[in-house]
Amino acid sequence: SGQRSLNLGLNGGLQFIDGRDRWFFVNDLAFSQVEANEFLNTGFQHLRYNYRADSLWTGEAFAQAQYNKPLQLNLRMTVGAGPRFSALNSEKWRVHIGTALMLEKEYDTDGTQLFQGRNSSYAAATFKFSAVASLTTVVYYQPKIFDASDNRVSIESGLLINVTKRMTLEGRLNLLKDSNPPHGVQ
């Protein structure tokens, strides 16, 4: 006999730009269940505000909520702020470097709670193949403040294809390394 499965997902992003101000919201939720077994239950919401001071410097502030049952993360909430520098901005290439101080409250599925400060530094590069397609890669490094041995490294890469002026298709690859994951997570 067959098994019943339930799969739900919602992801996307919105961006609002008004002069020097930019608001950006990303949402990515997924839930999958086969019979009584949850095997995937993840979510991520990210809100970011940018204020472009000039052509090189931008101030950023963000808030984020994330959960990931396979990684035994019930909830991680973060807020942070810092500067971003535009290192290269040409017709084919864009490169940005940023850093932020971030506060993080984390609840693991085993009941462990953490409240800590982290640095969140990143380098983002975009290569524009044509007016229709581009490749973006962002590398994040997030060490705990005063303990760099406790860190996370994340690589996000995406191929974007502009379908219309207001719609983009994207294929994405995410890699994550956590030096101090929740107990029992490889």
> In terms of DSSP H, where are the helices of the chain?
none
Mean pLDDT of 62-69: 91
Going by C-alpha positions, the residue among 178, 53, 45, 161 that lies closest to residue 108 is 178
Mean pLDDT computed over 52-65: 96
Say if residue 43's pLDDT is above 90: no
Q: Residue 171's pLDDT band (boundaries 50, 70, 90)?
A: confident
Residues 132-168: tens digit of each pLDDT: 999 999 999 999 999 999 999 999 999 999 999 888 8
Give the residue-averaged pLDDT of 1-28.
83
Does 1 have pLDDT greater than 80?
no
pLDDT attached to residue 123 = 98
Task: Measure the CA angle with vertex 109, ends 151 and 46; round to 5°.
Answer: 60
Question: Is the model more confident about 81 or about 109?
Answer: 81
Place of tokens 């995406």: 158
DSSP state of 181: P
Name the nearest CA neighbour of 119 among 151, 142, 146, 149: 142
- pLDDT > 90: what percent of the chain? 62
Percentage above 70 pLDDT, the chain: 95
Average of per-residue pLDDT values in the chain: 89
Residue with tokens 């730009």: 17
Cα gap 22→24, rounded to integer Å? 7
Report pLDDT for 42: 82
Question: d(Cα 153, Cα 134) in Å, to the nearest integer?
Answer: 23
DSSP result, 88-108 = EE-SSEEEEEEEEEEEEEEEE
pLDDT tens, residue by residue, 76-103: 999 999 999 999 999 999 999 999 999 9
* Predicted pLDDT at 37: 67
DSSP lists the bridge partners of residue 94 as 89, 126
What confidence tier does 41 reach under pLDDT thresholds 50, 70, 90?
A: confident
Please choose, from the candidates 153, 162, 98, 89, the residue with its C-alpha nearest in 3D space to the C-alpha of residue 124.
Answer: 98
Tell me the C-alpha to C-alpha distance, in Å, between residue 158 and each of 23, 47, 161, 184. Answer: 20, 19, 10, 30
